[in-house]
Structure 1
């Protein structure tokens, strides 16, 4: 009788090998589990808090940018004025060779002083026809320059206080103590803006025509075809319809003291403030390029500050001399 005596001897070897393999697989499984835990375990609470804080800041910034045009209009509308003027250029003892009207925008930068463009404060500046006559000996004369502020039923007289010799900037002096006390200066940005930043331009595009166009129907029907701009402006002021408009865009480039942005505008908005996303004035709207939607030009406030100081010094000297 033959018994398989070798089996009992082989069983312990097979069982040991099986257990070794199971141990090895278990070890590999444990290592894989530790690897997965290390890479996919939720991050520490402080990292999550940092991410939440960062996202909250980005959302707050987005909300601020989206509400910025409404904010600046509500906060600073009353300090942004419509400027209207009449000027002539002529030779002595002759009828004027040129007589024209000018409209633009201005805004309060400090007590009693407005910022605008030089071609608004001195309308023959940059006017090819007027400058040609002046070179021939003609004399320019600013016959009238007034500012219509929202909330005021009548215009206030303004006069040039300082003119830039290098760029299209000017400072106007307000000759109305009551108006000076009521007007709130706009905040000027301390830091330059970067291309890509959201901007808003506030002003009076198309001048009187633009304000009449957005007036109530009865007012529009009465004023739409009136050729007397100053008369229409006076009536709009009496009806509390001197209201600036805002357009938005992005800053495309900054070259020296020149700002280039795509916020659309038109004549009449020259001299208006250009706001950054924080509601600070970064420039003065100056011109636009026909046929190019991204070609609106402004002058940086860095060029405006020296002009404000010059106007303030001039006013102090004049006040001191008048007391002597």
Structure 2
């Protein structure tokens, strides 16, 4: 279908019929977007006080005060001439008269408006091409005499309006669809970035929480203040293990040989576990600075990451275990052998995408200068018990027999263990050992235990208690102990294990809970049946 000719649609200015030779398209001012068709040979151009551009035949008289230029057709082109006393700019150059070429930019007067001159192909220009619109915007910014910021904003505003209103419907739909796709991708990218930022923040909080937990598990790591407190304790005549055993014998009439024989089989357990990142299968390690020092987070906690290059982050712990007579096995609490199962720690680690892994577990026995490597063999699902495997050659002729009968209310019991861990052992070792630590500056979790063992200064503490209540699942007694004593044997007057110390109840006058020895016997039967 042919495009309609202007002669078919628009009457000539003088009332006759004519063909459009060219047109002026207003780019600025109130007439922005309007087209003035150039049909006749001689025309007068006027600009009203409101900056509206209009045309009339040149012979129309009288002249108007708003006349600003004339257009004269000759030699297949229009020549524009400024009216006397009026200013005219063509392509940014001030002129009094010039022949117009296709695409020229004309600025009428000091305040415009600005129009684009175009020759016409005698067909009605129903739509503008994108090239024309962009060309007009470029020509406007190049030739306009307005400040740069204003002409740039004007070009963007007017160009955008023309692209939206003067192009073909198909082009506008295409542009709209493209913009919607871009907006959709932008929204998806924003959502992904937000989720990624939330994930990073969540992982940072998890790592920070793990770092706090790491710091909390280092209660056995000694500080100079701890050494100072121990020195004060020596000044207050802290009793040694032998003195405590002597006092215990005087108060309870317990045979020294029973406690002494049991003491040799009660081990100080020292261990550390690490955390493995489930997704990457990497173990959490310390982040090391340029100087080789372990870095800390802004909150003062150890900085640990799966991609850290330092040593694995150690979650250190201590406890008590004892050898069982007749088998090369050691009994302790489940929460000592699997320390990450205490409280809600295991769930917190699982939610953080981490799984615990034992790095090292050592058992120090009295009268032995070297520790024994221990390994978890089996633990009870029903009771707080675990059995450790140790090297048989290191535990020959050691072990405490297990009682056959359950303790009765009012029966006297004796508890052996290592409450408060390294601090109590240093206190027992005496002032000389403490002075050696201060002189060497040795405060390492592992080296202190090794030094105590080498010097034969690892011995359990003993306390006496009375059975307050018994049941199939627990024995309650009032023997004095504290953290670190978990896993120690609870003995009757015959030196037999009647319970395994498991929990402290300070709100009930220092009472403790032990797991009855019947549960340990059941666990041993499971091991033997394997």
- Mark yes or no: TM-score above 0.5: yes
Greater alpha carbon shift after TM alignment, 231-240 vs 96-105 = 96-105
TM score, norm. by length of structure 2:
0.45
Q: Does 1:305 align with 2:521?
A: yes
Aligned to 2:428: 214
Q: Does 1:194 align with 2:436?
A: no
Greater alpha carbon shift after TM alignment, 262-271 vs 86-95 = 86-95
Write the mapping of 1:262-281 to structure 2, written as runs, cut at 5 A. Answer: 262-281=478-497
Alpha-carbon offset, residue 288 of structure 1: 0.2
Consecutive unaligned residues of structure 1, counting only runs of 5 or more, are: 1-62, 315-324
Match of 1:282 among 498, 503, 527: 498
Aligned to 2:317: 102
Greater alpha carbon shift after TM alignment, 83-92 vs 222-231 = 222-231
Alpha-carbon offset, residue 222 of structure 1: 2.8
SS in 2 for 1:213: helix
Rg larger in structure: 2
Match of 1:85 among 258, 271, 277: 271
Paired with 1:313 and 1:209, the residues of 2 have a C-alpha distance of: 40
SS in 2 for 1:124: helix
Paired with 1:104 and 1:145, the residues of 2 have a C-alpha distance of: 11
Alpha-carbon offset, residue 193 of structure 1: 1.0
Aligned to 1:53: none
SS in 2 for 1:89: strand
Aligned to 2:254: 68
8 Å contact from structure 1 (residues 69, 248) kept in 2: no
**Given the superposition, is the C-alpha separation of residues 127 and 101 from structure 1 closer, same or farther in structure 2, using an over 3 Å criterion?**
farther
8 Å contact from structure 2 (residues 275, 284) kept in 1: no
Structure in which a larger fraction of residues adopt helix:
1
Greater alpha carbon shift after TM alignment, 226-235 vs 157-166 = 226-235
1:46-69 Cα deviation digits (max 9, x unpaired): xxxxxxxxxxxxxxxxx9992326
Paired with 1:130 and 1:138, the residues of 2 have a C-alpha distance of: 9
Alpha-carbon offset, residue 94 of structure 1: 6.1
8 Å contact from structure 2 (residues 259, 495) kept in 1: no
Q: Does 1:169 align with 2:385?
A: yes
Alpha-carbon offset, residue 226 of structure 1: 4.6
Paired with 1:84 and 1:236, the residues of 2 have a C-alpha distance of: 13
Task: Provide the alpha-carbon RMSD of the alignment.
Answer: 2.2
1:155-205 Cα deviation digits (max 9, x unpaired): 01010111011121000000x232132x42211111111111111100111
Alpha-carbon offset, residue 233 of structure 1: 0.8
SS in 1 for 2:399: coil
1:42-89 Cα deviation digits (max 9, x unpaired): xxxxxxxxxxxxxxxxxxxxx999232633321121111101110122
Match of 2:395 among 172, 177, 180: 180
Paired with 2:519 and 2:478, the residues of 1 have a C-alpha distance of: 21
8 Å contact from structure 2 (residues 319, 485) kept in 1: yes
**Given the superposition, is the C-alpha separation of residues 93 and 278 from structure 1 closer, same or farther in structure 2, using an over 3 Å criterion?**
closer
Q: Looking at both structures, which has the greater relative contact order when contacts are Cα pairs under 8 Å and sequence separation is at least 6?
A: 1
SS in 1 for 2:377: strand
**Given the superposition, is the C-alpha separation of residues 232 and 190 from structure 1 closer, same or farther in structure 2, using an over 3 Å criterion?**
same
8 Å contact from structure 1 (residues 86, 101) kept in 2: yes
8 Å contact from structure 1 (residues 68, 278) kept in 2: no
Consecutive unaligned residues of structure 2, counting only runs of 5 or more, are: 1-248, 286-303, 305-312
Aligned to 1:33: none
Paired with 2:330 and 2:283, the residues of 1 have a C-alpha distance of: 34
**Given the superposition, is the C-alpha separation of residues 156 and 275 from structure 1 closer, same or farther in structure 2, using an over 3 Å criterion?**
same
**Given the superposition, is the C-alpha separation of residues 298 and 159 from structure 1 closer, same or farther in structure 2, using an over 3 Å criterion?**
same
Paired with 2:526 and 2:386, the residues of 1 have a C-alpha distance of: 11
Alpha-carbon offset, residue 135 of structure 1: 4.1
Alpha-carbon offset, residue 255 of structure 1: 2.4
Paired with 2:365 and 2:255, the residues of 1 have a C-alpha distance of: 19
Aligned length: 250
Paired with 1:155 and 1:312, the residues of 2 have a C-alpha distance of: 26
**Given the superposition, is the C-alpha separation of residues 299 and 226 from structure 1 closer, same or farther in structure 2, using an over 3 Å criterion?**
farther
1:182-237 Cα deviation digits (max 9, x unpaired): x4221111111111111110011111111101112110223378531221111111
1:109-142 Cα deviation digits (max 9, x unpaired): 1421011000111111124234311244311100
